[in-house]
Structure 1
Amino acid sequence: MSKYIYSLLILFLCASCSTEKNEPSTTTTETVYFPPISGTTWETKTIASLGWKQDAVQPLLDYLALKNSKSFIVLVNGRIVMENYFNGHSATTNWYWASAGKTLTATLTGIAEQEGYLNTNNKVSDYIGAGWTSLPLAKENLITNKHLLAMTSGLEDINNGDAVDPASLTYKADAGTRWAYHNVYVKLQDVVAKATNQTWNTYFNTKLRDKIGMDGTWFQSGNNSVYASTTRSMARFGLLMSNKGKWKNTVVLNENYSNASANTSQNINLAYGYLWWLNGKASYHLPQSQLQFSGSIIPTAPNDMYMALGKNDQKIYIVPSKKMVVIRMGDAADNVNLALSDFDNILWQKINALY
């Protein structure tokens, strides 16, 4: 019996050693670093210091270059591990976020709520007045700010989700009963502006952009409001959200709202929070579709990852378990203008190979 117990002990110790060896060093208790609000200083960490595989770096960079990327950043605990630019892009070049910028609108809505200007459970018309859709008043009054955050307004997508004038916003279902990807979320910018009695740009710059040292600006693209910035500014926002809305010792966005943003917001599309996409759920819907698919959106990526995804493969990936933020900006990876494509799966195979 003693020999049997001894053998079990050896097996247990070997298994423990193997687990420690394979555990990525991104799970350390190292403190989170935040770059200064101004200037170009940003602490870095090397691939070697993390125990990652140097020979996996070049295949990743080759793939990014092949897939029309313009920039790529990996942060671990806030420190830059990789920062690469392609095809003439540079650290000082602005690029558009496309729908990845929806998360900026969600964040500023939460800031306005924590400052007492609005309540996300209240109806949209409380702030911008009745008649902002073509719905009968009783149906329009069902639509709350939270429905816009969760993409469950019930409004018909008659112009590919682009137009948001009243005539284009028609009834499809009662609010809260149908998930559909739609640019009507942009009405939250009007809600914030009316509630705070400030312009959207002024409130955004004061309460978010300038507090974490971002650059960039909003511009109109059709009926949509789009943000453009440097890649490091996108990384700053990713770092803020990965730290649950806190920048160093300053609460920019409260933790409760940050957590709600990064968790399922309704029971129709489990993979959607407050304008954030969620990996690792049992099922998901895709933009422009009412089909439900089983499994995780990006099977090769960590299950706890949440994402800001934009047209032509603009990406913010946040992985809490690895204390990691990954940014990709560029043109469409496969000449398809979808926010989500097979590019994500292969990219994460390449990233996984690092560790």
Structure 2
Amino acid sequence: MSSSSTADNFTPVFDGHNDVLLRLWSSSEANPVDRFIDGEKVGHIDLPRAKKGGLAGGLCAIYVPSPSMEKDANGDYPTPEHDSALRITLGMAALLAKIEAKSAGGLKICRSADDIRTAMTNGAFASVLHIEGAEAISADLDELYVLHQAGLRTLGPVWSRPNIFAYGVPFRFPSTPDIGPGLSDAGKALIRACNELKIMVDLSHMNDKGFWDIAAISDAPLVASHSNAHTLCTHSRNVTEKQMDAIKETGGLMGINFGVSFLRADGQKITATPLSEMVRHIDYIINRIGVDHVALGSDFDGTTIPDALGSAADLQLLIAELRKAGYDQETIDKIAYKNWIRVLEKTWA
């Protein structure tokens, strides 16, 4: 793997969450594969901007949009029907496969930690196929096994809406994540199957009861791929101190979400938010559970990020902010990519 201690201290980043597949799939523009490979002026991630900012790879989410953004009486977004969700999921997975095929080595779908290391060494974008909200999977779990064969290696049972597996925590501020019931029987079976297949389970959109149900069942590290410290920003999507302690005990991690609404103490969607807000959360998590349990989970192409970090091309500005805060290169390397690779390797082994 290329050293991060080059003359200009350029540090590679492996990131825990992006929604670039959704952006490309849902765009009205033609040729999404070419736009990702050649670059474009919209969104946060494409290959040229990833290379410029040192984004060496990450978890590429398949998220099926709700059929409507009108909430029901309980404040929940409507859940997609299975058949539609499966069609969309396969479409996004195919899009990633087409990018890999056409990128001339520019992107690699990774199924192991060694795949990630090799891709980073070769300068390829190390992409891990992730599902955010398992509406494409039926209660018999047949689709899970097929998707695993296609490269699926991480899965969040829910987005912030209910499905047959669990109740996704709604977007609320201020609020604890203790909203709604935990895993259904089907959800418990899903977690056991993910453990069997060595698929990482992502807790970022789980409510409190669902979190603890998974903690009781799973034998893998607990991971919240793109969530921040609830003590600093009391958003329902963020991780409580008790949850953080459980993450530490299992050798898991939290990926810092770049979304301003999950960073700011006031929970406001204000893009004039300094990068020091990210460092504030990183500091807090390290002080609580240690440097081995914090990483990055940008939510690029899926949330509103600070103006100071306009896209993946600007990632080294965050690295510079960490240096400014006093972090040495060894610690920065852990936060930027080593912790993710370690936890994925432990989960997939």
Is the TM-score greater than 0.5? no
> Greater strand share, 1 or 2?
1
TM-score, with length taken from structure 1? 0.26
TM-score, with length taken from structure 2? 0.26
